[in-house]
């Protein structure tokens, strides 16, 4: 299936909301990790997201070029080509772009989509994320409103964030953030809804925080409060009626109890970002390969090693397979397993 068009993408979100499941959103940084994510979603018969952050996009362009936009375009074009080989729907997203990088990352990618649309080609990305969580909410939403208007004209959905996800990701460190800033309030959720929903043809996602933390943590160490999402949704319906509702995104889920993850699905979470766990799943078989074949992968004491073992394909195949398995597990955890909307 080609990368989802706007109508299919909207249907994905609406169906997940109505049936209380969420899509895995797998961060990728290379052709190999993109292949693994696609393979995992296909094996799970689950629709889902592939997404690229600013750091991953820069990495994808190579250490000598370091061009975020070029790297993002490169990965996106690869996914557009490969997605056609799978019987699932795939959405493409950019992840965690702070205000200072909008003009050097998201805006140029939107310009690329304008060029593609003028040529009769599909959008490069289905959605972009603006992370204005460190800004005062009024400034955050002022920027978001302008972006939502631009996105609506291009049939792109904007993802925004209020509250701060703790921990560290992609070079941005929020360790030590005061605890009160790790939780989105009902007032925040109301404000986001009231500011963005009034824009004509707007569709948007909100990454609301409820104790989420980026990084690696043992099970039980991340203290989530999913009821925060419930309270915010109830505040919306109380003030604006039963049709007022926010599609929510769950960031920083590593180490979360499965019961907490499942609870969030009842409160409007339709997308969960997955990066730390898939990074580890990708790297683990590479480490196994190197440790078990140490003498074969190195030229030691005048020996020549064994090309079969230091050929990057040998260990990247294992990495792809293991990462795909972790994606399948994520689909099961989020209850999207076997629920693709794809139809031949």
Query: What's the rounded Cα separation, in Å, for the pair 15 and 335?
Result: 12
Residue 199 counted as domain residue? yes
Residue 276 counted as domain residue? yes
CA distances from 5 to 80, 89, 117, 156, 308 (A): 11, 9, 12, 10, 42
Residue 343 counted as domain residue? no
Residue 338 counted as domain residue? no
Query: What's the rounded Cα separation, in Å, for the pair 89 and 92?
Result: 10
Q: Give pLDDT, residue 94.
A: 98
Residue numbers of the chain with a pLDDT score lower than 50: 166-178, 217
Domains of the chain: total: 1
Which residues form the domain of 163? 6-333
C-alpha closest to that of 191 among 150, 227, 243, 139: 139
Residue 1 counted as domain residue? no
Query: What is the Cα gyration radius of the chain?
Result: 20
Q: Give pLDDT, residue 172.
A: 46
Whole-structure pTM over 0.85, yes or no? yes
Residue 178 counted as domain residue? yes
Query: What's the rounded Cα separation, in Å, for the pair 92 and 123?
Result: 9
C-alpha closest to that of 90 among 175, 28, 159, 19: 28
Cα torsion angle, 27, 29, 35, 36, sign: negative
Residue 221 counted as domain residue? yes
Residues 119-128 pLDDT 10s: 999 999 999 9
Query: What's the rounded Cα separation, in Å, for the pair 26 and 39?
Result: 12
Start-end of H helices in 293-344: 294-297, 307-310, 312-333
Residues 220-239 pLDDT 10s: 555 788 999 999 999 999 99
Determine which one of 5, 14, 87, 95 is catalytic. Answer: 95
Residue 34 counted as domain residue? yes
In contact, 130 and 143? CB cutoff 8 Å: yes
Q: Could you confirm whether 95 is annotated as catalytic?
A: yes
What are the residues whose beta carbons fall under 8 Å from the beta carbon of 130, sequence distance 6 or more?
97, 99, 102, 106, 143, 144, 147, 158, 159, 160, 161
Query: What's the rounded Cα separation, in Å, for the pair 172 and 246?
Result: 26
Domain harbouring 291, CATH code:
3.20.20.70
Q: Give pLDDT, residue 297.
A: 95
Helix (H) or strand (E) holding 17: helix 6-19
Q: Which two tokens stand for residue 192?
A: 């986001």
Q: Which two tokens stand for residue 321?
A: 């397979």
């Amino acid at each position: 299936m080609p990368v989802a068009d706007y109508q299919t993408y909207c249907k994905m979100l609406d169906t997940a909301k109505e049936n209380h499941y969420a899509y895995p959103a797998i961060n990728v940084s290379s052709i190999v990790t993109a292949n693994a994510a696609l393979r995992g979603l296909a094996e799970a018969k689950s629709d889902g997201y592939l997404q690229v952050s600013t750091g991953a996009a820069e990495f994808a362009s190579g250490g000598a070029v370091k061009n975020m936009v070029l790297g993002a375009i490169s990965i996106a074009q690869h996914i557009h080509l490969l997605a056609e080989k799978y019987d699932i729907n795939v959405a493409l997203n950019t992840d965690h772009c702070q205000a200072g990088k909008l003009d050097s990352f998201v805006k140029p990618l939107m310009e690329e989509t304008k060029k593609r649309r003028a040529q009769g080609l599909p959008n490069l990305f289905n959605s972009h994320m603006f992370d204005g969580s460190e800004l005062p909410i009024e400034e955050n939403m002022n920027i978001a409103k302008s972006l939502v208007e631009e996105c609506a004209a291009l049939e792109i959905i904007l993802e925004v964030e209020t509250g701060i996800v703790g921990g560290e990701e992609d070079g941005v460190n929020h360790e030590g953030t005061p605890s009160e800033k790790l939780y989105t309030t009902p007032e925040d959720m109301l404000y986001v809804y009231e500011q963005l929903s009034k824009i004509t043809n707007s569709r948007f996602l909100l990454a609301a925080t409820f104790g989420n933390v980026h990084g690696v943590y043992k099970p039980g160490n991340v203290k989530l409060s999913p009821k925060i999402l419930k309270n915010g949704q109830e505040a919306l319906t109380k003030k604006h009626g039963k049709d007022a509702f926010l599609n929510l995104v769950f960031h920083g889920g590593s180490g979360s109890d499965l019961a907490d993850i499942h609870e969030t699905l009842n409160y409007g979470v339709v997308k969960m970002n997955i990066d730390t766990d898939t990074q580890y799943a990708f790297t683990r078989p590479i480490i196994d390969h190197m440790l078990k074949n140490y003498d074969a992968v190195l030229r030691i004491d005048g020996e020549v090693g064994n090309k079969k073992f230091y050929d990057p394909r040998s260990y990247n195949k294992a990495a792809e397979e293991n990462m795909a398995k972790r994606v399948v597990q994520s689909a099961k955890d989020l209850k999207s397993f076997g629920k693709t909307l794809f139809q031949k």
